[in-house]
Structure 1
Amino acid sequence: MTGARSTSGGPASGDGQPEQTEHGMTRRQLVRHAGWFGGAVVLTVAGGEVISHVAHDHDSAAAASAARTAADPNALRFVQVSDSHIGFTGPANTDVTGSFTEAITQINSLGFRPDFVMHTGDLTHLSTPEQFDQVKQMLTAARTDRVFTVPGEHDSVSDNGRAYRQAFGRNTSGDGWYSFDTHGVHFLALVNTLSLEKLGHLGVDQIAFVRRDLAAVKSDTPVVVFSHIPLFAMYPKWGWSTDDAMQVIALLRRFSSVTCLNGHVHQLFTKTEGNITFHSATTTAYPLPKPGQGPAPTPQVLPAGRLKDALGIRTVDYRVGGQALAVKDVRLA
């Protein structure tokens, strides 16, 4: 990893159906959010609310917001990529290296240089040193000053994350968690993939780290949290949740603006709880089914020519001193 200062030892670098579902969302919300799968969605996070719409080329509001951010030399702009699964072989994507390369090319074609790129886990598929080295070399092609990562469960196959930490964990704490500040925003990068039985898990040591870290942060500071597995109960039957996340959520309640960005589920999904908004990202490798469609989240084979519709990257803009984080998901297609 490369980069700037870290504050806590982090790296420098109406359908008639019942409304309530088992995982805390209404069926109407579930249908609406699942409909975003593979699409470009713009979300403005302000005052704990999310205003969302599918992005169109002629969307004047989105264009105006982007123009204002681009014109602000102090604006923060970063990119999230996720679930590259380098080393995967299968019909869902016969060339994950090629699609990850296309994602990096897309980063380099955004029309601005991101302040940093964050990869939210499952960098590799089998966590071999060779796969980690390949991802690390590929990420050097991204035109950015800093690259950050958090591990996915595929990055700790059989070794409790040791190979991941050797490749990407320099100057992190514990099992690879850390924090940093830039452009007036406080960032937390968490690890919830190492104590898996069914759900994600943070653990007492990491929660204590978060408590100490946030104690020094003013409540009007925007906070962004990165993790691989969702911190909200998206679909616990598939392990799409973190069993002890509410302890961290409680610590985040005092902040006026909190945005949590995760990977793992390979599709776009959003949820708002008070002042906290959660956004799941899509993948650069292969799609997974929507929550509850099928017995398990297995790689999905799409019709010929449709794979890139389900793959993409995410850009996030923040104007220093403003009230909003603008999140845009863009397909590789």
Structure 2
Amino acid sequence: MIDERDGGLDRRQTLKCMLWAGTGVVWTVAGGVPSSRLIGSAKAAEGSFSFVQISDSHIGFEKPANPDARATLSAAVDKVLAMTDKPAFIIHTGDISHTAKPGEFDDALQLIGRAKLDVHYAPGEHDILDPKTRDAYLERFGKGATGGGWYAFDQGGVHFVSLNNVVDLKKNGLGSLGPEQLEWLEGDLKGRTDSTPIVIFSHIPLWMIAPEWGWGTEDSAQALGYLARFGSVTVLNGHIHQLMQKVEGNVTFHTARSTAFPQPAPGTAPAPGPKLVPAGELRKWLGVREVVYTPSPATLAVTDSDLS
């Protein structure tokens, strides 16, 4: 499902993503002229860089929806290794593990480490089930982070911010950023010029997809208010195990596939949870995302591909 509403967004920064027969097709509009490319069919322009998003690996999950989540995470890493242009880094948008056991964390580190890339993480609720597992997560994935695991870094002119919206879950499991993190975010963004491209990544979506399922962040409006002055904002999330997109003003929201198992679309099942699909079709429902940044115009081109 793709929800696209331009909302007055500068056409040079509008991004539209489509899927065709399980293969990602990217549409980028620059100066009002659309162009498209299949996955891997074109190299990034000079001065550009790309990075990869993976999400919801759920290492330790061993149920009929996917008896071996380690194997499918390994397949995702294989896809990264096969990319013609080496990405600058990987971001993982949470639920690295299924039950936050140290062994699950360590297995994930070993598997993702095969890519031989720097990796930036945002925690999922499965990674920090209680304060003890939170410490185990931060020890492995959050060194140098602030507070409960949020931080920022810069790459090639783009400012990246990793947020933690899974600690103080609200009604129905809605995400929450909390006053301390919101204050930090406001301060972090103050020193950035309006023309700085911003990429925010966290586990639970920052827009209300299905509040009754906990697919949204209760206090996201305040965070998005801090981002309103920037010309290009991209928000990357996991949690819902499927592709959805929304454009609102200057912000483009993208959710990601899982590398472990799909979930039903909102309204198609009584509740969220692992969706059982025929074993031979599982990898069509799983995938990775490549994001390419080109300095001028400041467009982030998002390409999704499945694991089949």
TM-score normalised to the size of structure 1?
A: 0.82
Q: 1:37-64 deviations in whole A, cap 9, x for unaligned?
A: xxxxxxxx95453333335699994339
How far does residue 303 in structure 1 lie from its aligned partner after superposition?
Answer: 1.5
Structure 2 stretches lacking a partner, 5+ long: 4-9, 28-34
Percent identical: 41
Does residue 150 of structure 1 match 2:122?
A: yes
How far does residue 134 in structure 1 lie from its aligned partner after superposition?
Answer: 1.1
For residue 6 of structure 2, what is the aligned residue in structure 1? none
Does residue 33 of structure 1 match 2:2?
A: yes
2:144 aligned counterpart, secondary structure:
coil
Q: Whole-Å Cα distance in 1 between the matches of residues 11 and 164 of structure 2?
A: 27
For residue 233 of structure 1, what is the aligned residue in structure 2? 208
For residue 236 of structure 2, what is the aligned residue in structure 1? 261
Does residue 174 of structure 1 match 2:147?
A: yes
Q: Does the 8 A contact of 1:161 with 1:194 survive in 2?
A: no
1:62 aligned counterpart, secondary structure:
strand
For residue 71 of structure 2, what is the aligned residue in structure 1? 98
1:249 aligned counterpart, secondary structure:
helix
Q: 1:133-169 deviations in whole A, cap 9, x for unaligned?
A: 111111110132x111000000012336221111111
Q: 1:69-123 deviations in whole A, cap 9, x for unaligned?
A: 5341x21100000000000110000010000000000000011211000010000
Q: Whose strand proportion is higher, 1 or 2? A: 2
* Correspondences of 1:109-188 after superposition (within 5 Å): 109-144=82-117, 146-159=118-131, 161-188=134-161
Amino acid at match of 1:33: I
State the superposition RMSD in angstroms: 2.1
**Equivalent residue in structure 1 for 2:37, among 63, 75, 78:** 63
Q: Whole-Å Cα distance in 1 between the matches of residues 115 and 25 of structure 2?
A: 28
Q: Whole-Å Cα distance in 2 between the matches of residues 283 and 325 of structure 1?
A: 21
The aligned length equals: 290
**Equivalent residue in structure 2 for 1:86, among 54, 59, 77:** 59
CA gap of 1:284–1:81, structure 2 versus 1, over 3 A, is same
Amino acid at match of 2:203: H
**Equivalent residue in structure 2 for 1:206, among 176, 181, 184:** 181
Structure 1 stretches lacking a partner, 5+ long: 1-31, 35-44
TM-score normalised to the size of structure 2?
A: 0.89
Q: Does the 8 A contact of 1:201 with 1:243 survive in 2?
A: yes
2:246 aligned counterpart, secondary structure:
strand
How far does residue 320 in structure 1 lie from its aligned partner after superposition?
Answer: 2.1
Q: Whole-Å Cα distance in 1 between the matches of residues 307 and 40 of structure 2?
A: 20
Q: Whole-Å Cα distance in 2 between the matches of residues 182 and 129 of structure 1?
A: 30
Q: Whole-Å Cα distance in 2 between the matches of residues 117 and 328 of structure 1?
A: 14
CA gap of 1:188–1:138, structure 2 versus 1, over 3 A, is same
Structure 1 residue ranges, 4+ long, deviating more than 4 angstroms after superposition: 45-48, 55-60, 64-69
Does residue 272 of structure 1 match 2:258?
A: no
Q: Does the 8 A contact of 1:223 with 1:255 survive in 2?
A: yes
Q: Whole-Å Cα distance in 2 between the matches of residues 154 and 220 of structure 1?
A: 36
